[in-house]
Amino acid sequence: MKIAIFSTCNYDQQFLTDFNTGHELSFFAEPLSLQNVMLTKGFDALCLFVNDHANAQVFAKLEENGIRLILLRCAGFNNIDLTAAAAAGIKVLRVPAYSPQAVAEHAMAMVLTLNRKTHKAHNRTREGNFSLEGLMGFNLHGAKVALIGTGNIGKAFYHILKGFGCQVMAYDPKPDQELMAKGLQYGTLAEVLADAVIVSLHCPLVPENHHMINSTTLQFFKKGAMLINTSRGGLINTPEVITALKSGHLGYLGIDVYEQESKLFFADHSAEIMTDELIARLMSFPNVLITAHQGFFTKNAMEQIAGTTYSNADAFVAGIPLANEVYE
């Protein structure tokens, strides 16, 4: 197939070229949008990532241009209008699980950094400052952690947390029987938020849970608790989280995702004036850690993403059942 690959950086080009199973590839650096959808003419398939937006208008153009398949090189599909895809007769395939450990390990890296302030200690010692003032953390052993979502990533994080000796509780509308058998207790969202010193989000973003962390649910949090979001930015109402940080009710925030990330992440904006007031405010807090959607970014995960993307493409070409199809 002729595949147009959007939102590509050098590392995407490297892995998608190395694992190619014989398709004709064209790489575009920019994300897919209504403004550049004309670039898709003459292709059979598109390969998209988290910040490519395919809404009903885009799908109408894709249908006109003869696109038959969308290969998502990610697990989440909140950026794709699946109803419009079906109406346009375009199949959407994803990579449902690629090294959930990669994201779970990044969530733990965020917990450890915020708690033990290793990023600040590193900067201090490099400048000859060996003071410990302001660096005090708390033991993770025995700490209560709430997992919101116990799918592939939540489950991987559960095992990491147990290794640290944490007491884990969870909220998930579909509790995992294997984890329950291992002793994981599930509760309502309000119950698990109220009991935890660390809350970590591992659920997909769907319309029903948009801004699930907001001024109301933040009231359930213990004073000084830590919130980690490696899932999707839209799960949290950022202005209301900022209010909770300003009052000290929320003690720490670690985010690998941001609701307006498509304008910022995966590119170098260091020489530009920051016009996004929310992220500028977040960056001003000493107890906030921001990474730019790098949870997935390990060599192992990149290999799995590329491998599954091409096995999806090849299954479509061969006309065999599409195990990784997503639809309304």
- By annotation, the residues acting in catalysis are 232, 261
Q: Are 31 and 54 in contact (CB under 8 A)?
A: no
Q: Distance between CA 225 and CA 35 in Å, rounded?
A: 42
Residues 108-147 that bind ligand NAI (CB under 6 A): none
Work out whether 231 is an interface residue with ligand NAI (CB under 6 A): yes
d(CA 267, CA 46): 21
CB of 106 to ligand NAI, least distance (A): 7
Alpha-carbon gap, residue 261 to 301, rounded angstroms: 21
296: contact with ligand NAI by CB under 6 A: yes
Identify whether the C-beta of residue 247 lies closer than 8 Å to the C-beta of residue 221: no
95/242 with CB nearer ligand NAI: 95
Q: Which residue is nearest to ligand NAI (CB)?
A: 151
The smaller minimum CB distance to ligand NAI, of residues 40 and 231, is found at 231
Q: At what angle do helices 299-318 and 10-18 cross, to 10 degrees?
A: 50
Q: Residues in contact with ligand NAI, total (CB under 6 A)?
A: 29
**Residue 86 corresponds to which tokens in the numbers above?**
């079906």
Among 40, 230, 237, 312, binds ligand NAI (CB under 6 A): 230
The stretch near ligand NAI (CB under 6 A) out of 29-37, 136-144, 239-247, 291-299 is 291-299
Interaction with ligand NAI in 66-105: which residues (CB under 6 A)?
Answer: 75-76, 97, 100, 103
Q: What is the Rg, in whole angstroms, of the alpha carbon atoms belonging to the chain?
A: 21
Q: How far is the CB of 117 from ligand NAI (least distance, A)?
A: 22
Residue 258 CB, nearest distance to ligand NAI (Å)?
11
202 binding ligand NAI? (CB under 6 A): yes
Q: Smaller CB distance to ligand NAI: residue 155 or 222?
A: 155
Look up residue 73 and give its amino acid. Answer: R
Window 142-201: residues binding ligand NAI (CB under 6 A):
148-154, 171-174
Read off the tokens for 191: 């119950």
Could you tell me the two tokens for 193? 């938020």
Q: Which positions from 7 through 36 interact with ligand NAI, judged by CB under 6 A?
A: none
Residue 103 C-beta: closest distance to ligand NAI, Å: 5
Name every residue whose Cβ is closer than 8 Å to that of residue 270 and which is 6 or more positions away in sequence: none
Q: Which tokens in the block code for residue 52?
A: 């490519």
Which residues neighbour 193 within 8 Å (Cβ) at sequence distance 6 or greater? 146, 171, 199, 217, 220, 221
Q: Copy the structure tokens of residue 207.
A: 């319309």
Residues in touch with ligand NAI (CB under 6 A) = 75-76, 97, 100, 103, 148-154, 171-174, 202-205, 209, 230-232, 256-257, 293, 295-296
